[in-house]
Amino acid sequence: MLVNSSQHSPEQRAHILLQTLSENDTHCVQFSYFLYSRDGHSPGSLRLYVRVNNGPQGSPVWDLSGSHGRQWHQAELAVSTFWPSEYQVLFEAVVSKERRGFIGLDDILLLNYPCYKAPHFSRLGDVEVNAGQNATFQCVAVGRTAEAERHHLQRQNGDVIPSSSLKIMSHRRYMVSFQLHKVTRSEQDLYRCITQSLRGSGVSNFAELVVKEPPTPIAPPQLLRAGPTYLIIQLNTNSIIGDGPIIRKEIEYRMTSGGWSEIHAVNMQTYKLWHLDPDTEYEICVLLSRPGEGGTGKPGPPLIKRTKCAEPMRAIRGLTFTEIQSRQIMLQWEPIGYNLTRCRTYTVSLCYRYFPSTNGRNQTLRECVKVDPSIFRYTIRSLPPYKNVHVRLVLSNPEGRKEGKEMTFQTDEDVPGGISSESLTFTPLEDMIFLKWEEPVEPNGLITQYEISYQSIESSDPTVNVPGPRRTVSKLRNETYHVFSNLHPGTTYLFSVRARTGKGFGQTALTEITTNISAPTFDYGDIPPPLGESETTITVLLRPAQGRGAPVSTYQVVVEEEKPKKVKRELGILECFPVALTYDDAVSKGATHYYSAELLPSSLPEASPFTVGDNQTYSGYWNPPLEPKKAYLIYFQAMSNLKGETRTNCVRIARKAACKESKTVLELSQHSEEMGVILGFCAGGLTVLILLLGAIIIAFRKGYGRYSKSGYRKPVNMTKSAMSYRQEKTNMMGAIDRSFTDQSTLQEDERLGLSFMEAHNHSNRGEHRCGANESSSLLGISPRHQCGRKGSPYHTGQLHPAVRVADLLQHINQMKTAEGYGFKQEYESFFDGWDVTKKKDKTKEVDDNTRVIRAYYDRHRVKLHPLLGDSSSDYINANYIDHLKMGKVYHLKSSSRNLANTLSTPSPSFLGV
């Protein structure tokens, strides 16, 4: 059989496996081999394996490589494997990396007589040792040995152990020794002897290495009884680790703190150890032995026990103090000896108790500490000041304890404890903070004073000095609250609170409180007139607002349609316009206001003009052209935001009146014929209106006559003697204009009543003013166009809708802002005996207004329901009404039983109930 290495890859292998052999005598396998390469390189390796009983292949018993000339060589394999064991011989050719040359095998013969060149091994016996001992295999070979031969002890798993010694017994017999040092259970396996040379190899049978584990008890010995000088134990050797048989039992004992030990042989299951020291800890173990060297196992688990002690003679005496402070007591007592403890091992415990008085309840705090027995003093620390502390000493040993007599000591006074930060409660406002605190949990004496310091540490307002100066407030012992005023909005203040006793101030409690932000402020003290005005636009001056506590985040220009009978906004929405409405949203919802522009603060660094109705879009809000026939109120609104808190302020900056004359003089001259037709229609309409007004006057007087019969006073007769023809015509034209202007908001009967009341009451207030002088009642005049409505949102004699009591303050504020209009002008035409000529008499203003209140009270009999929760209340206090024109304060008190009648009365009312 031949392998050409040049035709194969490196490490490729060729196997020849002989049949399974089993013989009672020695076998010899003879074969010829050929290993040659022309250039001297190795063609590969030729290896022999002997596998026993279908076991692992293991390591090769013969291995040859390199180039050995262009010739055949003969070798022998002496196999000493005896029946009933079986074996197989495997030839293996392995191609080298050089891949040059040939590997040949021929003339394989199985001989039934011993080999001539390879030595044969005698039968190898098993070896048994105890774990941790040295194991020795002695392999005896028959044949001649040479120096070139190598001897190995081969393990079944393939490990190879070199020989330790070679001994020549005769010219054809020698012995090779193999030693394994301190074997363990893991080295237990099958081993065989191997000799290798160029002439062949010899293989012995497999012998077993048996490793025995010396026995060791699993459980420690068991204590049956203990005394001051003896211990009775049970060996407890039923369960062991390791191998038997057990041929000897021993007990090893020693003091745990000593360096000596003793071993006693035991032939029983129980044993008593004598002559032991009292109160001494001993460690006791059991030793077991099996046959053979090193058969004594490791000591079993130890039993650690202490001999008994006697009960102490008495308690410790002489407990006294050496020094007492506010929070500690230094104590001492008599020295302690063995005659007192009767035991080398003992403990001294110092136990004390006191009442900390926390949270207003007496809770006993108990604690015991162990002290060093060699030291006869101790300091109790962390005690509450000015408290009784009860102390006693306890002497203990394993056999008993003795407690000493309890002694009482009192600590000294100290500074108060800190105020709990959780007890600091506060209510922040825009410029004030209400702070409340509680007394310290540990007052440690009598509290004489509280000191509160505060300082601004953070603010969103750049004008605030941060950090600001620290201010201090002192409060008496019974004052645990304070109101801090004159603070800055949107500013964080650091507050510190501490208490004081006769010993000084205690710890400081800190808290940070932030005041609420305020609404921005406007500088419109001197409100300028509009910069320009047309039929569909009005140009106003926008001035930046000043943030208070937070910078201004956004501006809005709000346009509100002015109507004679305008629906009041709810007081819960405040006085501004927090709900953002575009023009389309306002039209769809029927709202009277909309946002015409939203501006960022960066776009308004200084006062700038803005045109309302320029048909542009500002931040998503359309600024549509204004309708010429409608009156509008222009508001400027600013918003500030800080940490989820929003403040809004708005100011009315202009009023655009409805335009009545939209044609210029040039247009009128060019269309004179059309104007003639229009004037003809107007003259006819005026005649019809005069007749209609006369019928209304007669119906109105009859209606008031009926009201007078039911308990109401008749209204004052409004004569036209004091009115000129010009005044009457002007008022009637104004009424006609209003009736057409308010056509979308008033019902038919309301429009008639409104025209009538305006026609008669305008005569009392003077001639109807028209033209450029009445373009705006607040911001001055505009020379651009004429308009036909006054600046005040109310008109004398107008039947106003009922106003709820909750809306009274808003109603009064609106009267304040109206020019030349107030409570007196609103209701002067509804009361008997009122003379409009008295308006010029300045000395009778108080009497006139007093009579107005009384006349209103007699006419309406104001009544409210009893106050909630108080059934005996029958009066209502209307607080005060600050009238801008009169400058007087009126206090209204009316019977609550009569005010309910006013709820269903259709006549005008002062309170608007």
| pLDDT at residue 716 tops 90 | no
pLDDT band, residue 666 (cuts 50/70/90): very low
- Mean pLDDT in residue range 470-494: 91
pLDDT digits (tens, 9 = 90+) for 776-791: 333 333 334 444 333 3
In the block, tokens 């010995």 appear at 221
**Structure letter (DSSP) for residue 776:** B
822 — pLDDT class (breaks 50, 70, 90): low
Residue 281 near residue 250 (C-beta atoms within 8 A)? no
Nearest by Cα to 383 from 405, 409, 360, 404? 409
Handedness of CA 441, 444, 450, 453 (dihedral sign): negative
The pLDDT > 70 percentage for the chain reads: 71
Which carries the bigger pLDDT value, residue 708 or residue 133? 133
572: Cα separation from own chain's centroid: 35
Least confident of 471-485, 504-518, 707-721, 845-859: 707-721
pLDDT beyond 80 at 849: no
- Please report how many Cα atoms fall inside a 13 Å half-sphere around the Cα of residue 448, on the Cβ side: 9
pLDDT value for 427:
92
| β-pair type (73-79, 120-121) | unpaired
Does the pLDDT at position 840 exceed 80? no
Give the tens place of pLDDT for each residue, 678-691.
566 667 778 778 88
525-575 residue pLDDT tens: 766 788 899 999 999 989 899 888 888 999 999 999 987 654 444 433 447
CA separation for the pair 717, 474 (Å, rounded):
69
Read off the pLDDT of residues 95-123 as tens digits, 9 standing for 90 and up.
999 888 999 999 999 988 888 888 989 89
- Scanning 541-596, the segments in alpha helix (DSSP H) are 583-589
Q: Is 36 within 8 Å of 102 (Cβ atoms)?
A: yes
391 within 8 A of 305, measured Cβ to Cβ: no
Query: What is the spatial distance between Cα 201 and Cα 66, in angstroms, rounded to a whole number?
Result: 18
Residue 725 identity: Y
Listed in sequence order, the residues at least 6 apart from 673 whose beta carbon sits closer than 8 Å to its beta carbon are none
pLDDT class for 623, splitting at 50, 70, 90?
very high
- Of 857, 855, 852, give the one whose Cα is nearest residue 875: 857
Global pTM value: 0.38
Q: Which tokens belong to 418?
A: 């800190």
- Return the closest-CA partner of residue 795 out of 779, 777, 780: 777
pLDDT of 43 > 90? The answer is yes
Among 34, 4, 5, which Cα is nearest to 97's? Answer: 5
- C-alpha distances (whole Å) from 167 to each of 86, 118, 204 are 30, 18, 17
Distance CA 102, CA 80 (A): 31
Could you give the CA distance from residue 635 to residue 577 in angstroms, rounded to a whole number? 9
Position 739 scores a pLDDT of 34
Specify the pLDDT at position 299. Answer: 93
Cα distance between residue 708 and residue 791, in whole Å: 35
Residue 52 has pLDDT above 50, yes or no: yes
Q: How many helices (H) and strands (E) does the chain have?
A: 10, 58
Domains of the chain, with CATH numbers?
A: 2-151+189-205 (2.60.120.200), 216-306 (2.60.40.10), 320-410 (2.60.40.10), 421-515 (2.60.40.10), 521-562+577-656 (2.60.40)
Which runs of E-coded beta strand occur in 717-804? none
Strand 449-459, strand 491-501: pairing: antiparallel
Cα-Cα-Cα-Cα dihedral sign, residues 144, 149, 150, 154: negative
Least trusted range by pLDDT, from 65-74, 680-689, 707-716: 707-716
